[in-house]
Structure 1
């Protein structure tokens, strides 16, 4: 078997999910030749994929989606489609690049992780494809115009935005129907997902909610606390683990969230002076603050999560899935309502029972920290119930890996039937 993975080129979650699948394929079907195309954070992920015996192909150029704003305040065809979608998810350049890669490699199957250009390229080249997605539709398909206005966007023409939404849902629906299988690690919530392309695929039997698609490390025992203390200088103290997230629509939102994290932590230390804050970002931190450990992106963050008193996390879904498997005591924070791509996830997490805070100020974050430190058992009970909905099984990557083998086998049978005269 020869498989080509084409994860979307924004953020790190698509890469991480793909890595989990590739690892399962290698374990279950060790003779498989695997290829991946990386367009984001390749310096971090290339060695990780190569360690899993996956051949890495790099995009001609990479864009930093974490430290540059992606949108403007006006929401219309030019700003949203022309300046954002056209260089991320629906890109002629990315589709042509994928076609060239498919032609050069000759895979039996393409696996697209929310990479619509990759799905289109697979169709053009006649190669079967599987769609892995944490979205039930394009983001705009699950947000109405009122939500955008409330988030602070200016919509010069509501009818134009409606037409964009309709076009996107039509395209996503076509992709889900053409895919051999559709897999999602996001549990369906009827209130949010009714009538969406992925929900329709689930109803038709080609779509499947498989639980978290994560690396096996999530379910493994954490490294001893002493080892963690030595690596990060935690000195055995109870600590808050906080993240500022990946892809940002507006960088100033992340900067404001960072300031509020630090202010809330300072307030926590007034009653818990031994506490520490481990802050993970995608940027360089230059200042030193007593009790705060600043870290860049951490690929093996699982032990940090498992030993944390509480986790404050943006709602990037790969992080949500991993923390559900780890049954982490977590609260989800959204730095700004105009981070529109995470509004749907926040609504879902709230409906599932998690503590959520949108545009949290120092007071809101302080109350979350107080509860986690003063009544940790009650806080953990809340998160455990929601985690069981997201993670009914430990790892859905195996289901995707087995479907890859099945899709390739079915494709070979079809080709043999066509080649054999009646």
Structure 2
């Protein structure tokens, strides 16, 4: 059996989810030949995949989607489709590159992790594919024009944006119908997801909500606190973990969130002198702030999370699932309403019962920190109850691997039926 993973190149979470599936498939089928194509953070992820015996293929040019703005203030075809989608999810260059890679590796199945160009390439190449997605539709398909305007975008031509939305949903629907299996780690909520492509795939029987698709380390016993203290310089502290990395639409939002974290922490520390702040941001830091540990990226961040007093995290969904498996005491912070790609996740997290805050100021963060430090048991309980909806059965990586293996060997009855229908 030969498998090719093509994770979306926009975030490290897609790489990590592919790694979790590849790990379980190696356990399930020890002689499997696995390939992965990395378009982001390959120096970090190549050794991880290679430790599984996976052949790594690296993009000629890797993009940094965490530290540059992706959009402008106007929301139209030029800024959104040409300027953003064409560089990320729907790209002729990426699709042809994937076609070439499929031709070179000759896989039995392609695993597309929210990589629509990869799904199209698999279909063009006549190779079955499995779609792994944290989105039930393209993001725009679950946002209204009024929401975009409320987030600060200029929508000069609503009809044009409606046309983009319809075209994207049509494409996503086609991809989900063609996929041998559609796998999601996001729990369906009727009021948000009804009549979306993934919701329809579930009704058709080839869509599956599996819960988190994460590494076993997330649910493993925590490493000793002493090891964390020694590694990160946190001895004698009660510490906060604050994330602000991930794909960003506007770089100034990321900087503003960091500034707010630091300002809130300085004030909080006047009444909690033992507090420390660990900032994880997918960038190099030059500043030094008393009581703050700055980290670029930590592949084993679970070691930090399991001893943290509270976690402040952006709502990137793969991070959400890892935190759910760890039952982390987490509150979710969205840096800006114009980070349109995370608005749906914030709606969902609020409905699930998490503490969420959008464009937080210092006072809002101080209230959350005070709650976590003064009433930790109730804060942990509330987060754990919400996590139960995301991870009802724990880690779904093993089931995902089983579905991938099945897709590689089963006859494609649905495709044959489609062809007969066309005739």
TM above 0.5: yes
Is 1:220 the equivalent of 2:220? yes
Distance between the aligned counterparts of 1:414 and 1:384, measured in 2? 40
SS at match of 2:312: strand
Equivalent residues of 1:128, 1:411 under 8 A apart: no
Is 1:170 the equivalent of 2:170? yes
Distance between the aligned counterparts of 1:217 and 1:393, measured in 2? 16
SS at match of 1:137: coil
Match of 2:126 in 1: 126
Shift of 1:236: 2.7
Match of 1:391 in 2: 391
Match of 1:328 in 2: 328
Distance between the aligned counterparts of 2:411 and 2:232, measured in 1? 49
Q: Deviations over 1:158-183 (max 9, x none)?
A: 00000000000000000000000000
Q: TM-score, normalised by structure 2?
A: 0.97
Cα RMSD after superposing both structures: 1.2
Match of 2:100 in 1: 100
Distance between the aligned counterparts of 2:413 and 2:8, measured in 1? 30
SS at match of 1:318: helix
Q: For 1:15-414, what aligned pairs fall within 5 Å after superposition?
A: 15-411=15-411
Distance between the aligned counterparts of 2:219 and 2:333, measured in 1? 24
Q: Deviations over 1:372-412 (max 9, x none)?
A: 00110111111010000000112111111111111122149
Equivalent residues of 1:70, 1:248 under 8 A apart: yes
**4+ long deviations beyond 2 Å:** 411-415
Q: TM-score, normalised by structure 1?
A: 0.97
Shift of 1:414: 11
Distance between the aligned counterparts of 1:342 and 1:294, measured in 2? 24
Q: Deviations over 1:124-178 (max 9, x none)?
A: 0100000000000000000000010000000110000000000000000000000
Q: Deviations over 1:84-120 (max 9, x none)?
A: 0001000000000000000010000000000000000
Distance between the aligned counterparts of 1:188 and 1:297, measured in 2? 30
SS at match of 1:319: helix
Equivalent residues of 1:245, 1:316 under 8 A apart: no
Q: Deviations over 1:314-342 (max 9, x none)?
A: 00001100000000000000000000000
Gap regions ≥5 residues in structure 2? 416-423
Equivalent residues of 2:8, 2:89 under 8 A apart: yes
Give the number of equivalent residue pairs.
415
Q: Deviations over 1:209-262 (max 9, x none)?
A: 001000010011111000110000001311000001211100000100001101
SS at match of 1:117: helix
Equivalent residues of 1:225, 1:236 under 8 A apart: no
Equivalent residues of 1:226, 1:236 under 8 A apart: no
Is 1:9 the equivalent of 2:13? no
Equivalent residues of 1:131, 1:179 under 8 A apart: yes
Equivalent residues of 1:284, 1:296 under 8 A apart: yes
Change in CA separation of 1:413 and 1:201 when aligned onto 2, cut-off 3 Å: closer
Distance between the aligned counterparts of 2:206 and 2:367, measured in 1? 44
Distance between the aligned counterparts of 2:236 and 2:318, measured in 1? 28
Distance between the aligned counterparts of 2:131 and 2:44, measured in 1? 24
Distance between the aligned counterparts of 2:282 and 2:130, measured in 1? 30
Match of 2:421 in 1: none
Equivalent residues of 2:249, 2:339 under 8 A apart: yes
Equivalent residues of 2:236, 2:274 under 8 A apart: no
